[in-house]
Structures are given as C-alpha cells and as structure tokens.
Structure 1
Amino acid sequence: MENTMNSTSDNDYNYDNYDQENENKSEIGPGENGTVHLEYCREAACIIMVIFNVIIFLLGIIGNGAVIWITGFKMKKSVNTTWYLSLALSDFIFCATLPLTIDYTLKGSWIFGLFMCKFNSFVMTLNMYSSIFILVIISVDRCITVKFPVWAQNQRTVQKASVVVLLLWFVSSLLSIPPAKFRETTNHGSKDICYNNYEKNQHKTVVFMRFTFGFLIPFLTIFTCYSILIRKLRANQMSKSTKPYKIMTLLITTFFICWLPFQVVSILELNRTKHSTAYNTAQLVTASLACANSFLNPFLYAFMAKDFKKKCYSFLSKIESAIDEETRSAFRATSITNSVDNRHSTAV
C-alpha cells in the first residue's frame, strides 16, 4: 500500500512539510520544491510566530486558569458556569502543550518521542472540537431558555449540564483519535520529525470529518439558534436583555474568525502536491491564528464587563463580573419571556 508522508495544514502545528522525496537530501528547506528547512526558524516569519505562540501560551495559561478558578471554585455552581468552565478547561489544556510546539519550531527536531507526537495532535483537535461543541451547546441552551422558558426553568440543572459536558468531551475525544493515529516520527539525519503518515484517501477523510463536524454542522446549528432567538426577542420586546447574547456573539464570532482560515487552508491543501513558500507561510499563520482562540475567551469576558472603561477593577473581578452578569441576565430574560407568555395565554 502506498504511503504518503505529509505534514500539511492538518498537521496540528507541525511546520515541516516532510516528504519521502527529501530523504536523499542533506537539507529540507522552503523553496521551489515546497519543502521546509529543518532550521526553518532562522527565518523572520517563523521567529515572529514563535514569539506569538509564547504570548498565547502565557496569556492562555493565566487567563484560562483564572476562569477555571473563578467558575470552578469561587462562583456558585450553575448551568452557565458549567459551560464556561468546560470551555476554559479545553483552552487551558491546549495552551499547556504549546511549549512542545514552540520547542519543535525552534529546534526543527521533535525530541519528545512518538507518543507525544500523537498526543500533541490529539490535544489540538480535541480543543477545536470541544470548543465549538460547547459553543453550540450554549447556543442551543439559550434558544431553549427563551423559546421554552417554563420547561427550561424546571429542567435546566447543574447535574444535567455536567452530563452533557462529559458527553461532549467523549465525542470530541473520539473525533480527535483519527488525526493522532496517522502521526508518526522519523529520523532525518540528526533530526527527528513529527509528521502525518496518511495512506491513500485517509487525508481527505480526516479533513472532511474536521470540516463537517468541527465547522459546517456547528455553524448551521448556531445560525439556526440565533435566528430563533432574534425573532423571539423581537416579538417579546426584550431588546434590553441582550447582555448574554453579546458575550456569546463575541465568543462565536472569535471562534470562526480564528478557525475558518485554518479550515480553508486544509481544504485547499488536498489538491496540492507541492507547497510554495507562500503556502507554507499560510499554513504557519492560520495554525497560529487558530491557536490564538485559546487565549482570547477570558479577555472577552473581561472586556464585556460594564465597568471596563470607567473603573479600574482587577482582571479577575472583571471576568467574574462578566460571567456572573451573563448568568443573571439570562435568568432575567427567562423570567420576562415567561411573564409575557403567561400574559398572552391568559388573554387568550
């Protein structure tokens, strides 16, 4: 069976386009053959991306760690804090593995072995799926809360939310196994390389799964939920109770801005047999942009706090204020909807 050694845009932060044809070359480098130097990080673009990833790592660990501490230990348990705790955990785990990628990019050699090569790929894919799935769940939860307020008030519990989160992580883990399965390591001279070793159409299958379950279906679901929400809110004249929807809109918009370029580059790569330097740079930039999503969410909570521009509260207080305000606003929105529906039923 013919093997294809490939470290493409679906390589989960592997910046080396390793190919079997390069085995007899003394050096792998970006150029006309679409290959990449093992010493690639001598180039300015790579150094910039390394610095960018270091910033993402530091801010992601601090920001998501703060959200985990606040939602997990400081705030009262609720359905909403359960959602945001899961999202922060996903981003925190991913950020914790970034030093492996940074080291690989700097040295041009994977020194962590086969297991960590696969695990690094698994964590990135897990982060993508779990993040978008939790955003889908939050959107559906918001839609149900507004559309069926009485049912939601009686059925929305922390225990049920926890079960949904566990199921979410289980499904995300299953979907993250195939990309990790095809990760392999090989030696090229004095360098070890972590790359994708696909067979025949397996690459297309992985990209198709990721685009379908990690982007297309979630996008359609979220779009449908928001369409229902907008119509319901306008019908009940609840325009003042929009705080939770502003936060969610920012979170979802940020996710798609960060991940859409990565998905596009992955699809375009399927029809390419050789990569130009420009395409390699596109892979590098879109992978780092996808990575950036993991540190942005906590800062969105802080910037959405009412008093951000007026008062100089601590960063942790802003995060707690934004999440707590989101929870209280969602409750008020449910109460108003319930009241309007009850009055309508009485009138009828």
Structure 2
Amino acid sequence: MDVDYVEYEDYTPDNESDNNITTELPFGSSQPSLSHVLVAINILISVIGLGGNSLVIWICLWKMKRTVITTWYLSVAVSDFLFCAFLPLEVFYMMTSHWPFGLVLCKVTSSALFLNMYSYVFLLVLISVDRCVMISFPVWSHNHRTVGKALGVVVLVWVLSALLTLPSLIFRQTTVRGSVTQCYTSYMGPSKHKAVVLTRFICGFLIPFLVIVFCSSVLCVKLRRLTIKSTKPYKVMAALILSFFICWVPYHSFVLSESDLKNHSVEVLETGLKVGTTLAAANSFISPVLYVFIGNDFKKILKRSLTSRIEEAMAEDFRTVGLNHSKSKSMEIVKS
C-alpha cells in the first residue's frame, strides 16, 4: 500500500547510493495537518470496513441461500475484509513513521491495497458479465450457471490478482535509519517503475473499465425491452461499479502523473497521492453500506436477524425471572 510513502525517482535512503533506485518520500514530510486528517479517515475506514464486511460475510454464509450472485458478493466482501485487516499496521506507520513489523509484513501489508484493487475490479467484471449473460442468454444461463463454476472462476480471479500483485512483494523493502525502520519501494530503475504503474492502470482499471462499460451498455438496451419485477440487483451492481471508479480514478491519475515527475509539482503529487490512496482505501467499506441501503434482500435479512437476536436475548433474560410464555414466543420467532 502506497499510503505511507509517495514514490519519486530523485530520493534515496542514506544507505543507498544508486541514483536509479526508485524509493519514496515519507508520508508526513509535508502538510502534517492533512496527514492527521487522513490518519483519522483511515482509522474509520478500518473500523467500519472490518465490521461491515464481517457482517456481509456472515449474512452471505449463514443467512442467505448460496447462489452465484451471493458468491460474487461474498468474494468482494472477503477482498475488502483482508485489506481492512492489514490497514491498522499502515495507520500505525503513518502515525509514527517507524515500521517495527519486519520485512515480511512490510511486503504483505503494502501489497494488500493492490490485491484488493485487482480482485475487486475483476469481481466487478464478473458480476457485469454474469448479469449481461443472464439477460442476453437466459436459457443457457439457467442450464450452465452454477455455484460450483462460480467458485472456480473466483479462484482464478484470486490467482490472477495475486500474480499481478507480485511487484509489490518483490520491490517492497525495509531499511534502518538510526533508530527508525522504514518500509519503502525500490524499483531498481525508472523503467521498472513505469512498467509497474502502467500494468496497474491497464490491467487494474482500463481493460476492466472497457469490459464493464460494454456489459452495462448491453444491459441498458436489454432492460428497456424487458419487463422485470425488480431492478434492485442492477442498482447494487451499478452502485458498486460507480463507487469503484470514483474511488480509484484520482489514485491512477496522480500515479500516472508521477511517472512524468519533471512536468509536475512534487508537493502537488505528494498531496494528491495521499488523498487518492485514502480515497482508494475508502472503497473497501463502501460495499457493505451499499448492500444495506440499496440491496433489499440484505436489508431484510439483516433486520430480521438482528430482531431475532434481540428477541432471543430478551427471552433468556425473562426466563430467569420465570416468564416462560415470553420465552416460548421469542423462540418461535427465532425458528421462523
């Protein structure tokens, strides 16, 4: 994750002498007030993201019937949850500018954002293609669209996402400067830096964007010709896609600008990447919010489950004082 450092070719640590090494400037090197605000936002992202995505995972696994679409959304929630689980380490680093967690966690934690980016956008592509196929070829879809095949495709998505995240694992390093350990990126040359940036933009944004736009266009045309009872699933899909691009466009824009550092202000790029990376991180807690406010099934199941939990807890409390009638009624609600 590049939230703690901004990449530049003209800065090297004290123990590095090669001018071709691409490393990074400290996150808090300028505008400390902005850094404090972004730290607070990242803390909220971590807390809300862990809680919200845990809730979505619980509902998908235990409260909803296993279908292809719940498989997609479960995978999205797992992707977001994994990122939010590592985010507290980055928040600590942002606050202290010291990395005490070792080289392995430096590599793994820094890769979490990009693993989330790739897996999330590829899953959005799957959801878009799946909806498009369902509308365009309903008979074929009914005969061949199974949960088992969906799980197989999800595994392939995660493998591909992990492979594309390898540069973060390879180039992320730690260095000791006095009593402070830093976790930074060393691309060993500007050409590798540009190659990684372009790969992330093309594979993690441009190509998925074109596929999703095509599928969305087909869906719009088909839906105008069909009479369907509810458009809620398509609204959820559209909201997920829109939130992803709003969250990631600033990051990719500033990273591409950063590869041409001579024509841009260092301070502007540093500030832009700070804000852009935090906005990209925010994408990890938006999904469960969208499910609750737009997804009617999620909303009903969540409300019913919480009500049942409260009723059950009250029944247990009433039983201790001999109110067996209330307990029986509550248990009937739970079983229903």
> TM-score under structure 1 normalisation?
0.79
Distance 1:315 1:52, change over 3 A: farther
Contact 2:175/2:182 (<8 A) preserved: yes
SS at the partner of 2:276?
Answer: helix
Map of 1:193 onto structure 2: 182
| Residues 40, 108 of structure 1: 8 Å contact kept | no
User: Is the Cα contact below 8 Å between 1:41 and 1:108 reproduced in 2?
Assistant: no
Change (3 A) 1:37 1:144: closer
Q: Give me the whole-angstrom Cα distance separating, in 2, the residues matched to 1:134 and 1:42.
A: 36
Q: Does the CA-based 8 Å contact 2:27-2:274 persist in structure 1?
A: no
Asked if 1:281 is matched to 2:271, the reply is yes
State the shift of 1:113 in Å.
Answer: 1.2
Would you say 1:92 and 2:81 are equivalent positions?
A: yes
- Matched with 1:304 is 294
* AA of the residue aligned to 2:68: V
Q: Quick check: 1:316 aligned with 2:307?
A: no
2:38 aligned with 1:49, yes or no?
A: yes
In the aligned structure 1, how far is the partner of 2:305 from the partner of 2:77? 12
Deviation of the 1:316 alpha carbon? 3.0
Q: Distance in 1 between matches of 2:295 and 2:83?
A: 26
Q: Which amino acid aligns with 1:220?
A: L
- How many angstroms does 1:227 deviate by? 0.9
How many pairs are equivalent? 296
Cα distance in 2 for partners of 1:41, 1:76 equals 50
Q: What is the Cα deviation at residue 243 of structure 1?
A: 1.5
- In the alignment, is residue 107 of structure 1 matched against residue 96 of structure 2? yes
In structure 2, C-alpha distance between the alignment counterparts of 1:319 and 1:188, rounded to whole Å: 52
Does 1:12 pair with 2:12?
Answer: no
Unaligned runs of 5+ in 1: 1-10, 25-34, 321-348
**2:80 counterpart SS class:** helix
Q: 1:130 aligns with which of 111, 119, 124?
A: 119
2:14 maps to which of 5, 15, 23: 23
Query: 1:193 offset after TM fit, Å?
Result: 1.1
Is residue 2:199 matched to residue 1:209?
yes
Partner-residue secondary structure (3-state), 1:199: coil
Q: 1:207 to 1:95 in 2, by over 3 A?
A: same
Deviations 1:160-212 (A, max 9, x none): 11101111101111111112211111122221111110122111111111011
The amino acid that maps onto 2:14 is E
Indicate conservation of the 8 Å contact 1:132/1:218, yes or no: yes
Which of 233, 249, 263 in structure 1 is aligned with 2:238? 249
State the AA in 2 paired with 1:23: D
**Judging changes above 3 Å, is the alpha-carbon distance between structure 1 residues 103 and 314 closer, same or farther for their aligned structure 2 residues?**
farther
- Whole-angstrom distance in 2 between the partners of 1:37 and 1:183: 14
Match of 1:328 in 2: none
Matched-pair contact (CA < 8 Å) for 1:95–1:294: yes
Could you tell me which of 125, 139, 144 is aligned with 2:133?
A: 144
Structure 1 residue 41, shift from structure 2 partner: 8.7
- 1:121 is aligned with what amino acid? S
Aligned-pair Cα RMSD in Å = 2.7
Matched residue, 2:60: 71
Structure 2 match to 1:230? 220
Does the aligned pair in 2 maintain the 1:114–1:185 contact within 8 Å? yes
In the alignment, structure 2 segments of 5+ residues that lack a partner are 16-23, 307-336
